[in-house]
Structures are given as structure tokens and as C-alpha cells.
Structure 1
Amino acid sequence: MNSIEDYNAQVSRRQFFRKGGTGLGVAALASMLPREALSIGAEPEFDFRAIAPKAKRAIYLSMVGAPAQMETWDPKPHLRSEFKKDLTGYLKEQGERLTGMTAGQSTFPLAPSAFEFEKMGKSGIDVSELFPYTGKVVDELCVIRSMYTEAINHEPANQLCFTGNQVAGKASLGSWLSYGLGSSNENLPSFVVLHAKHSNPAANVQAISNRLWGSGYLPGKYAGVELRSVGDPVLYLRDAPGIDRATRRHMLDGLAKLNQESLQLVGDPNIQTRIQQYEMAFRMQASVPELTDLSSEPESSFELYGEDSRKAGTFASSALMGRRLLERGVRFVQIFHRGWDQHGSLPQHLPDQCRDVDQGCYALITDLKRRGMLDDTLVIWGGEFGRTIYSQGTLNERTYGRDHHPRAFSIWMAGGGIKGGMVHGATDDYGYNIIEKPVHIRDLHATILHQLGIDHERMSYKYQGLDQRLTGVEPAKVVKDILA
């Protein structure tokens, strides 16, 4: 029987030959180099960059629950003449996939939008009356009306949207970006997650979990770090009573030595991740309080983002915090705003959802542009799929709901080398099928990576014998028509 020492030696040799320069060699090198050489401006561990990046950073405004495209960014005003038209025959011809929520309906009455649209900006893009503020910056937006996905239910759709796969356990978009780009600020994580509160108590709120911002099979240091809006921004950030910074530093140094000994014996990369996480937590004790203290913001910021920006946890406050994170070197910020799942009473609930995010979106784009950051900051807004043109349940002119629809939905992008003031793609008369320039979720991911200078086909991570990629093995393409 082998001794534990023999086993550890074998594991270390495996780690050395399999990981090469990314295992113990890097750990040993890190112990000899000054911290400054490993932090600000340091190159990422792996280089997947194939082009000159247009963007240095990105922020994803995630509308969880799926906004209805015909009320937001894909107007169909001609359908008002077909109010309550039964689409049963049409849906059978199209091979409609029905969820369990509408599969039992005897009819499928067409529900035209109750909201008006107006052409805004020099580009004349149709903007919903629900977005009066966002309409002011529509010339900065590229509205994509031809998004599609295979997922028809929220959990797998969100996983596909934010991890590239409907199966749980994959690395998230933000983690891939953190992995591929590295950090530009040693005192803050490269990937930060914010959760914005919705204001409508009757909203149908979808549950989400850290699978949407987790690192999956990537090292844990690439996972998104959540900043809380209540209490300490990060749990256990403060030192315990009686522990000063010098004592904490001494404790961490001792713990690092023990972890280094374990790393040399076992060669487990998770130990190296743990060492790095402890160091990051120590540095965040100084950087996060300054970051979250909005007293340094001028009054003009609160005027721009609106009164809600003074209230922690609102979307406006999160958008302002997102800008502060981006300007401090965070690579990727993700803001989750839930409550967009309107299966009923859509005309009553959707305006509240749009009001929550409207001024914040306008302010974020305006703020980034004023600071000279919009050109190299990619902004993405959207949900996980679309909604049906027919009503779920009771229908009258002011009361209807919409079921899930994966075949066609709308998002928008701005900044970061994306053409502003344009519409990409189109849907048919019922907003049911895409008739021009389809864009799959994988294509969106490929385009995001491309704008940040990463080739989605080259960026991979070996796990369980396979080269894992964000865009997987299915075809994915960069949407070149929308690039400036």
C-alpha cells in the first residue's frame, strides 16, 4: 500500500506535467515576485486575444423574466385591427411549442400591445412610451430584434443566456471574461454582480442562483463577487472586534505559508485559488468601503440617475454603482433586475418594471459618454427569451398576459465598438418568426468576446478531457453587421 507521501508526490508530478506553467511554477514565481508585478497592468494567465479590442470592460443589464418585445423594442401597431383574432390554426402551422401554462387553452387570441411607440433620435428608431428616458439616447443603441434561443423555460434559458449552456455547472459569461482578460485593479474583483430591487410587489419574480455568475469548472477566483445593498457590501468584510489590520495581515501571512505547504504536497489548484481569495478579501477591506460610499458623488450624478439612485438596491443606484466599478477597473459588471415575467395583467405591471430601469439606463449611457468611457465600455440590455403575441388567459384591451416565446425577442447593445442608432434583424407580422438576420445567444456571446478582443473559438479550458468553451461546439458567429 502506498503511503500518503507517495500519493502526494504522484499528484504533484501529475499537476506539474499537466498544468505546466500554470501550476506550481506560477505559485513559486508568485512567491518571489513583488505584488506590484502581479497586479495592476499584469497580463492574464492565458492569452486568447486575436484582435485589437474595441472595449476594455462590459456591463450586462439582465432583465430576468423576459420583457415582452412587442411592448418594448419590436412594435406591431398594425395588429390592432386583428384584436382577439384566434391564432390556433396559425400556431399549428408554425409548430408552436407551448408551455404547460397555455397548453390547455382552447383558443389563442391575438393581443396587440396597449402601448404607443414614437420615432426618436436622429435615427428615428421606434421607442415605446414606457422608455421616455432611454429614448433620449436611442442614437447610441443598436436594437437587435432577431434574437432567438432553444430554451422555453426560465431556468434553462437563463443558464443558456449567462453560461452558454442549458445544463447547470458551466462557467458564466463574466467568469470567462475574467479568465480571458485578467484584472486591471488588484484591490477589486474583475467580475462583480449587483442585484437591483423591483418596485412592484405584485411582480412575478423568477428565482435565480449563483450558477448564473459562478465559475463552474474554471478556478474559483473567476466567479462573480456579489455586492449587497443591505448591511456590509460583502459578508465578513470587517475584521472581528479586537483584530486590527496589522494582526489580520500577520494571520493571513501565516495562513498563506500553511496553504503553500499544502499546495507543494498536493498540487491542488483550489489551494492556490484560496490563497488568492484571502489576499483579495484583505485588499477589499480598504477598497470596497470607498467604492460604496456615494458621498463623494456630485449632486449632478443624483440628478442624472434620479432620486432612486439615493436608495440602496434600486436599479438606478445599481447603475451608478456599476459605473463606479467600471471606472475603477472592474472588467465585467452584471446587474440583475427581476420581475419581468408577465403572464397576466401585463398592462398593469410592465410599466412599473420599465419605470424601474428607464432613467438608470439613460443615465448610465449618458454618464459613460460624458466621462469618455462609452467608446470602450460595452453595454448589453435584455432578458432570456421573448413573449407570445397571443394572450395567456383572459383578454381585453387593458388586461392580458403573454407566455414564453423563444423563437424571437429583442435586446439592445451600446458602446464598445457597436454601431449606434440602428436596428438589426426583423420579425414577421406577428412577431413570431425571424425573417431577417437571426442572432442566437451563442452569436451574442461570440460578439461580446470579440469586442473585448477575444476569439471565442480560441478561448477554452480543459475539463474532464474536453476543451470547454463559452460558445460550446455548436456554430457561433460574430454579428459583424452591428460593429462600428
Structure 2
Amino acid sequence: MPPISRRAALKQASAGFGLVALAGLLDQQAKARPPAAAHPLAPKAPHFPAKAKKLIFVHMNGSMSQHDTVEYKPKLFADDGKPGPGGGTLTAPKFRFAQHGQTGSWFSELLPNLARHADKLCWLRGLHTDTPAHPQAVVQLHTGSANAALTRPSIGAWLLYGLGTDNADLPGYVTINPPPNFGGAVNFGSAFLPAHFQGTRIDDRGALPNLRPATAAGLQRRQLDLIQGMNRDLAAAPGAPDAVDGVIESFELAFRMQGKVPELLDLSKEPLRVREEYGATDAPNQSFARQCLMARRLCEAGVRFVEICQPGWDHHNNLHAGLIDRCRSVDRATAALLNDLERRGLLADTLVLFGSEFGRLPTAQGVDGRDHNITGYPMFLAGAGVKPGFTYGATDEYGIRAVEGRMHTNDLHATLLALMGIDHERLTYRYAGRDFRLTDVAGTVAREVFA
């Protein structure tokens, strides 16, 4: 019997042929189908030995003020109230700073728990980017390009494309509570890469839409086989869109995830002392704490890239009260994440990146605010492959411009890929007649930060 076509299958199904019977017919004809292609998310060898196998990005969306938290500038305190070199009035922080750890790293009183990890952190203090507008800057941080005319794949999608995933029953790229604004789904999309490389979105309670099956597993598997047979017929037809392959893989992954994800993201499985360490039992900050704890569980299970996000850092006004609230919401949980990763031996192969899309100015904006600054700001790395207690780069005496160890967003991406074992110049995908890469035609690896 020749294999049934997609059109014939639909016709027979609509004529009342019977879903289970039709699935059985497709079972009998399975040998007539071409063998399935290699799993697109199967693990792939890196270009060179990787220092890190997994990456957690802790994104402070909206631009955390470095001057009030982690960037101590004595000159800013000394010249408080004086005109700034680029205009405006220099405004010193209202929070006390102190040195911590053997490295003597400076932290404000807003981050007491994170300060205890001073000797684990690798600071990048010479970052700069291209645009002071949040939507473009956030998209550039995630995709390498702020050009809205051509959507680019996100960094997580590039990592999956280059390395695959270590757990076939889980998505290789998970984004938790991504902001709906500032680029939205572009920040975890795959753009022109095949759709199976895009991020999987979950909320801070681990909920995935439409994940729980409406039918018994056996019947659902037969229904899925019917649908997948139709999809493969379509994919094999001349001129079939590339997205069909992504649909096929997403259906299969969703089926496998039903048995794994709910249990994995059930935080009640964690000991109470661990949940309390993160603050996952305490309102009002338990949302971000749950994200951090889920990130650890996902990485432990083999997920390649996890992003967690805390919005609300855009303090053009209400700076001081706003910072107290935002820092309180992330300080305890971020410190607990680093503790937990280290305690479980995960920090040895997991890289953590913490930061915002850009920084803020040392001058006042209005009565109680600071405006955007794209010419010099910090982030920190911790974990696999980087020097602990190390600082790379610096800004000027007021923290306005990067003057040492300057790193553009392209350089940051090149460095992250290199830590994951990828040569950013070799990780390319041909689209619209040219080879694209995360770093476009730029990017220099900051090997000085490598352990």
C-alpha cells in the first residue's frame, strides 16, 4: 500500500474514518517513510574545549544604577553638587559604601548578601553600547543588533544552534518571566534560525501554557503520530516552509516535557531550608527568588541557557526608594543562587552573567533620578571559566565613560561564546545570501578574564 498523503489523511479523517484507526494505518505505513533526520538539538562538539557548559543570565531590566550599588567613585562624593563635565549636577549616592572580601570590592549597603560573594565575582567595568533607548538596547544585548529592520536570533538560540542540549526531554533554552515590552519575544526568539532553537517561556511559578495533556498518554501519542505524519509529508513537499521542521520538533519536545517539566519546576520538592535561603517563601520578593531557584534546577537537569529577569530599574525618578525596593528583591536570591550552585558543584561548569542593558549617569535627573548612560557601565560574571575576584576595565573618575578594558556588546557576546567553547567568527548561519553571526562583523574576546 503506498503511503497515505497529507491530503488523503485529512479527507479520510473528515469523512469519519476514525482517529485511532487512521493512526493505526499510519503505523502500518511507517516503513514507507524516509528515516527521520538527526535530532536537531542533539549535543554538538564545541570548537575548542569549553570552560563553561551552561549559562544563567540574570537580567536587571531597565538599567540598574551602578553609582548607587556597585561602582564606588570617591570623586563623585567629593564633587557632589558641582557641575558635571558633560552638563548636569553631579549627585553622590545617598547610600554607604564599604569594601568586602580579600579583593576589597566596593558594594553599597543595598547589596549586603551579594557583597559576601565579592571574591567569586569577575567584574567587567568597561562596557558600552550603541543606543540609549531601552527597546533597542535590550534587543541588542540579547541578539547583538539593535536594527529593528532585521530581527536577529537571540544569544540562547545561537548557543543551541552551536552546541545543542544535554537533555532531550527538556528545552535547551528557557526564559523565565521575560518582559513583554523592550522587544518582547524578539529577545528569546530564533529569527531566521530554525524555530526549534528559540527559547521556551515559563512564568515564575513554572507554568507552561497547554502543557498538560487532555487525553491519556497512549491515545495522545497516537494522535501526535497522525499529526506528525501529516507534518512530515508537508515538510517533504517541494517549497515547504522551514518552519514546519520547527513545528515537528516542538510537538515532540512538548510531548516529552509533559513527563519531566511539572516535577522539575515543582519547588515544593526543595527542602524548606533551601527555599528560605532564596526567599522563595517570603512575600513580596518571592517571585524573583522562585526564578533563581528554578534556574538552578533547570541547569542541574541539563538546560543549556536560562535567563531570569527582574524589571523595574528605570529610575528617572523615585531613585532612592526605588533602589531600596529593587535591590531588596534581588540581593538575597542572587546570593543564594551563587551559594547553591557552588554547594552542588554546579558553579564549576555553569557561568552566571548579571547586569543591565546599560547604566546610568552620575548626574541628577529631576529631583530624585538618573538618566541613561551607554558609554560606561559594569556587569559581573561568576563561575565556570572566569577569574574570581578579578576586575577587567574601568570608567573615568565620575563613572561616565569606559577608559580601560572597553567592551562593546559584541565583545561581551564574543567572550561569552568563547567561554562556552565557541569561536564567534565560526558560528554562522547563511540567510538572505550572506553568513550571519551573533557578533555580526565585530567582536573581540576578552581573554584577560579567563581563569
Q: Paired residue for 1:9?
A: none
Q: Paired residue for 2:203?
A: 228
Q: In the TM superposition, what is the alpha-carbon distance from 1:471 to its structure 2 partner?
A: 0.3
Does 2:36 align with 1:30?
yes
Give the 4+ runs in structure 1 shifted more than 3 A.
205-208, 307-313
Supply the AA of the counterpart residue of 1:419. K
Supply the AA of the counterpart residue of 1:30. A
- Structure 1 residues 362-441: aligned runs within 5 Å: 362-394=335-367, 400-441=368-409
3-state DSSP of counterpart to 2:117: helix
Q: Paired residue for 2:43?
A: 43
Supply the AA of the counterpart residue of 2:384. G
Match among 217, 241, 249 for residue 276 of structure 1: 249
Supply the AA of the counterpart residue of 1:379. V
CA distance, structure 2, for counterparts of residue 271 and residue 431 of structure 1: 49
Native 8 Å contact 2:127 2:407 kept in 1: yes
- Residues 420, 28 of structure 1: alpha-carbon distance in 2 compared, 3 angstrom cutoff: farther
3-state DSSP of counterpart to 1:114: coil
- Residues 448, 354 of structure 1: alpha-carbon distance in 2 compared, 3 angstrom cutoff: same
Match among 240, 246, 249 for residue 221 of structure 2: 249
Q: Paired residue for 1:209?
A: 184
Supply the AA of the counterpart residue of 1:194. I
Native 8 Å contact 2:76 2:362 kept in 1: no
Supply the AA of the counterpart residue of 2:207. P
CA distance, structure 2, for counterparts of residue 226 and residue 206 of structure 1: 15
Does 2:268 align with 1:295?
yes
CA distance, structure 1, for counterparts of residue 228 and residue 314 of structure 2: 47
Q: Paired residue for 1:457?
A: 425
Query: How big is the alpha-carbon RMSD for the aligned residues of Structure 1 and Structure 2?
Result: 2.2
Point out the more displaced range, 442-451 or 305-314.
305-314
- Structure 1 residues 148-187: aligned runs within 5 Å: 148-168=128-148, 169-187=151-169
Q: In the TM superposition, what is the alpha-carbon distance from 1:433 to its structure 2 partner?
A: 1.6
Instruction: Note the residue ranges of structure 1 that are not aligned, 5 or more in a row.
Output: 1-26, 92-106, 198-204, 395-399
Q: Deviations over 1:86-106 (max 9, x none)?
A: 23xx31xxxxxxxxxxxxxxx
3-state DSSP of counterpart to 1:364: helix
Supply the AA of the counterpart residue of 2:157. S
Match among 276, 299, 314 for residue 287 of structure 2: 314
CA distance, structure 2, for counterparts of residue 421 and residue 275 of structure 1: 46
CA distance, structure 1, for counterparts of residue 425 and residue 98 of structure 2: 40
Native 8 Å contact 2:40 2:164 kept in 1: no
Does 2:92 align with 1:112?
yes
3-state DSSP of counterpart to 1:462: strand
- Residues 263, 79 of structure 1: alpha-carbon distance in 2 compared, 3 angstrom cutoff: closer
Does 2:163 align with 1:189?
no
Q: In the TM superposition, what is the alpha-carbon distance from 1:269 to its structure 2 partner?
A: 2.6
CA distance, structure 1, for counterparts of residue 173 and residue 295 of structure 2: 11
Native 8 Å contact 2:153 2:438 kept in 1: yes
CA distance, structure 1, for counterparts of residue 114 and residue 329 of structure 2: 12
Native 8 Å contact 1:309 1:317 kept in 2: no
Instruction: Note the residue ranges of structure 2 that are not aligned, 5 or more in a row.
Output: 1-32
TM-score between both structures, scaled by the size of structure 2: 0.88
Q: Paired residue for 2:103?
A: 123
Q: Paired residue for 1:94?
A: none
Q: In the TM superposition, what is the alpha-carbon distance from 1:300 to its structure 2 partner?
A: 2.5
Does 2:134 align with 1:146?
no
Match among 58, 61, 78 for residue 61 of structure 1: 58
Native 8 Å contact 1:64 1:383 kept in 2: yes
Q: In the TM superposition, what is the alpha-carbon distance from 1:116 to its structure 2 partner?
A: 1.5
CA distance, structure 1, for counterparts of residue 300 and residue 415 of structure 2: 22
CA distance, structure 1, for counterparts of residue 432 and residue 122 of structure 2: 39
3-state DSSP of counterpart to 1:146: strand
- Residues 312, 78 of structure 1: alpha-carbon distance in 2 compared, 3 angstrom cutoff: closer
Q: In the TM superposition, what is the alpha-carbon distance from 1:309 to its structure 2 partner?
A: 6.6
Q: Deviations over 1:187-223 (max 9, x none)?
A: 11000000289xxxxxxx9645011111111111111
CA distance, structure 1, for counterparts of residue 43 and residue 303 of structure 2: 15
CA distance, structure 2, for counterparts of residue 362 and residue 308 of structure 1: 16
CA distance, structure 2, for counterparts of residue 469 and residue 133 of structure 1: 38
Q: Paired residue for 1:286?
A: 259
3-state DSSP of counterpart to 2:417: helix
- Residues 313, 302 of structure 1: alpha-carbon distance in 2 compared, 3 angstrom cutoff: closer
Match among 323, 348, 371 for residue 350 of structure 1: 323
CA distance, structure 1, for counterparts of residue 174 and residue 263 of structure 2: 16
TM-score between both structures, scaled by the size of structure 1: 0.82
CA distance, structure 2, for counterparts of residue 84 and residue 311 of structure 1: 35
Q: In the TM superposition, what is the alpha-carbon distance from 1:476 to its structure 2 partner?
A: 1.0
CA distance, structure 1, for counterparts of residue 372 and residue 287 of structure 2: 26
Q: In the TM superposition, what is the alpha-carbon distance from 1:440 to its structure 2 partner?
A: 1.1
Q: Paired residue for 1:101?
A: none
Native 8 Å contact 1:125 1:422 kept in 2: no
3-state DSSP of counterpart to 2:36: helix
Paired positions, count: 417
- Residues 61, 329 of structure 1: alpha-carbon distance in 2 compared, 3 angstrom cutoff: same
Q: In the TM superposition, what is the alpha-carbon distance from 1:434 to its structure 2 partner?
A: 1.6
CA distance, structure 2, for counterparts of residue 58 and residue 472 of structure 1: 21
Q: Paired residue for 1:12?
A: none
Q: Paired residue for 2:4?
A: none
3-state DSSP of counterpart to 1:353: helix
CA distance, structure 1, for counterparts of residue 227 and residue 283 of structure 2: 40
Q: Deviations over 1:375-401 (max 9, x none)?
A: 11000000001111111112xxxxx21
3-state DSSP of counterpart to 2:313: coil
Native 8 Å contact 2:428 2:437 kept in 1: yes
3-state DSSP of counterpart to 2:112: coil
3-state DSSP of counterpart to 1:374: coil
Q: In the TM superposition, what is the alpha-carbon distance from 1:439 to its structure 2 partner?
A: 1.1
Q: Paired residue for 1:479?
A: 446
Native 8 Å contact 1:386 1:405 kept in 2: yes
Q: In the TM superposition, what is the alpha-carbon distance from 1:313 to its structure 2 partner?
A: 6.3
Q: Paired residue for 1:102?
A: none
Match among 60, 79, 83 for residue 80 of structure 2: 83
Q: In the TM superposition, what is the alpha-carbon distance from 1:329 to its structure 2 partner?
A: 0.6
Q: Deviations over 1:171-192 (max 9, x none)?
A: 0011111111101111110000
Identity of aligned residues (%): 38
CA distance, structure 1, for counterparts of residue 281 and residue 216 of structure 2: 36
